[in-house]
A and B are shown apart, each in its own frame.
Chain A
Amino acid sequence: MNFEESLRISVRAIRGHRLRSFLTVLGVAIGVAAVITFVTLGASLQADVLGEVAGDRTPSMAVAAGPADASPGPSGPQQAVFTERDVAEIQALDGVDAVVPSGDVPVAGLAFEGQTLGYNQLTASTPAFFDYRTTAEFSAGGPYAQGAAELVLNEPAADLFEANVSVGDQVAVVRPDGTRVNATVVGLLGASDSPFGGFAIPRVYVPTDPFYETRLESPSTGDQQRVYPTLTVVAEDFQRVGDVREGVLAYLDGESDARRLKPESYEFRAQTAEDVVDQIRSLLDTFTAFVTGIAVISLVVGSIGIANVMLVSVTERTREIGIMKAVGAQNRDVLQLFLVEAVLLGVVGALAGILLGILGAVAATRYAELPLTFPYEWAGIAVLVGLLVGVVAGLYPAWNAARTDPIDALRYE
Chain B
Amino acid sequence: MSDVPDAVVLEGVSKTYRLGDQPVTALSGVSMRLQRGSYTAVMGPSGSGKSTLMNLVGCLDTPTSGRVVVDGQDVAGLSDRERTRLRGREIGFVFQTFNLMPRLTAAENVALPMVFQGVSAAERELRARQLLDRVGLAERATHRPRELSGGQRQRVAIARALANDPALLLADEPTGNLDSATGRAIMSQFADLHRAGNTVLVVTHERPIAEHADRIVHLLDGEIERVETIDEPRRPQAGDAS
B164 at the interface (CB under 8 A from A): yes
Q: Are A330 and B81 in contact (CB under 8 A)?
A: yes
Question: Across the interface, which residues of A come within 8 angstroms of B60, CB to CB?
Answer: 326, 406-407
B85 at the interface (CB under 8 A from A): yes
Q: Are A327 and B113 in contact (CB under 8 A)?
A: yes
From known contacts A327-B112, A329-B84, A407-B61, infer whether A16 and B103 are also in contact, taking CB-CB under 8 Å.
Answer: yes
Question: Across the interface, which residues of A come within 8 angstroms of B121, CB to CB?
Answer: 5
Q: Are B84 and A330 in contact (CB under 8 A)?
A: yes
Residue of A nearest to B99 (CB): A323
Interface size class of B (residues with CB under 8 A): 20 to 34
From known contacts A1-B115, A12-B104, A324-B112, infer whether A330 and B99 are also in contact, taking CB-CB under 8 Å.
Answer: no
Task: Give the CA-CA distance A333 to B115 in the complex, in Å.
Answer: 10
Q: Are B112 and A410 in contact (CB under 8 A)?
A: no
Q: How does the 8 Å CB contact mask read for A324-358 relative to B, with 1 for contact and 0 for none? A: 11111111010000000000000000000000000
Within 8 A of B (CB), among A1-39: 1-2, 5, 9, 12-13, 15-16
Contacting residue for B93 out of A319, A320, A326, CB 8 A: A326
CB distance from A208 to the nearest CB of B (A): 84
Q: Are B101 and A323 in contact (CB under 8 A)?
A: yes
Contacting residue for B115 out of A5, A319, A325, CB 8 A: A5
Task: Give the CA-CA distance A26 to B112 in the complex, in Å.
Answer: 32
From known contacts A12-B103, A320-B101, A331-B80, infer whether A326 and B58 are also in contact, taking CB-CB under 8 Å.
Answer: yes
Residue of B nearest to A6 (CB): B115
Task: Give the CA-CA distance A12 to B58 in the complex, in Å.
Answer: 29
Question: Across the interface, which residues of A come within 8 angstroms of B81, CB to CB?
Answer: 330-331
Within 8 A of B (CB), among A372-413: 406-407, 410
Residue of A nearest to B161 (CB): A327
Question: Across the interface, which residues of B come within 8 angstroms of A13, CB to CB?
Answer: 103
B55 at the interface (CB under 8 A from A): yes
Task: Give the CA-CA distance A191 to B106 in the complex, in Å.
Answer: 74
- The A interface is mostly helix, strand or loop, or mixed, namely helix
Task: Give the CA-CA distance A278 to B109 in the complex, in Å.
Answer: 64
Task: Give the CA-CA distance A15 to B144 in the complex, in Å.
Answer: 14
Within 8 A of A (CB), among B115-139: 115-118, 121
Q: Are B116 and A333 in contact (CB under 8 A)?
A: yes
Within 8 A of B (CB), among A138-196: none
Task: Give the CA-CA distance A309 to B68 in the complex, in Å.
Answer: 40
Question: Across the interface, which residues of A come within 8 angstroms of B112, CB to CB?
Answer: 324, 327
B95 at the interface (CB under 8 A from A): yes
Q: Are B93 and A328 in contact (CB under 8 A)?
A: no
Task: Give the CA-CA distance A407 to B163 in the complex, in Å.
Answer: 21
Task: Give the CA-CA distance A5 to B61 in the complex, in Å.
Answer: 28
Taking each of A5, A325, A326, which has the highest tally of chain B beta carbons within 10 Å of its own beta carbon?
A326
From known contacts A327-B112, A333-B116, infer whether A410 and B103 are also in contact, taking CB-CB under 8 Å.
Answer: no
Q: Are A328 and B89 in contact (CB under 8 A)?
A: yes
CB distance from A336 to the nearest CB of B (A): 11
Taking each of A2, A319, A326, A328, which has the highest tally of chain B beta carbons within 10 Å of its own beta carbon?
A328
CB distance from B48 to the nearest CB of A (A): 17
CB distance from B228 to the nearest CB of A (A): 28
B87 at the interface (CB under 8 A from A): yes
Question: Across the interface, which residues of A come within 8 angstroms of B115, CB to CB?
Answer: 1, 5
Task: Give the CA-CA distance A326 to B157 in the complex, in Å.
Answer: 12
B88 at the interface (CB under 8 A from A): yes
CB distance from A408 to the nearest CB of B (A): 10
Q: How does the 8 Å CB contact mask read for A298-333 relative to B, with 1 for contact and 0 for none? A: 000000000000000000000110111111111101
Question: Across the interface, which residues of B come within 8 angstroms of A330, CB to CB?
Answer: 81, 84-85, 116
CB distance from A305 to the nearest CB of B (A): 22
From known contacts A407-B55, A407-B60, infer whether A327 and B103 are also in contact, taking CB-CB under 8 Å.
Answer: no
From known contacts A323-B99, A407-B60, A407-B61, infer whether A328 and B104 are also in contact, taking CB-CB under 8 Å.
Answer: no
Knowing that A1-B118, A327-B88 touch, tell me 5 more A-B residue pairs with CB under 8 angstroms. A12-B104, A320-B102, A323-B100, A328-B116, A329-B84
Could you give 17 example pairs across A and B, Cβ below 8 Å? A1-B115, A12-B104, A13-B103, A320-B101, A323-B100, A323-B101, A324-B116, A326-B58, A326-B93, A327-B88, A327-B163, A328-B84, A331-B80, A331-B84, A333-B116, A407-B55, A410-B95
> Which B residues have a C-beta under 8 Å from some C-beta of A?
55, 58, 60-61, 80-81, 84-85, 87-89, 93, 95, 99-104, 112-113, 115-118, 121, 160, 163-164
> Which A residues have a C-beta under 8 Å from some C-beta of B?
1-2, 5, 9, 12-13, 15-16, 319-320, 322-331, 333, 406-407, 410
Closest 6 CB pairs of A and B: A328-B88, A328-B116, A327-B113, A323-B99, A12-B103, A16-B103
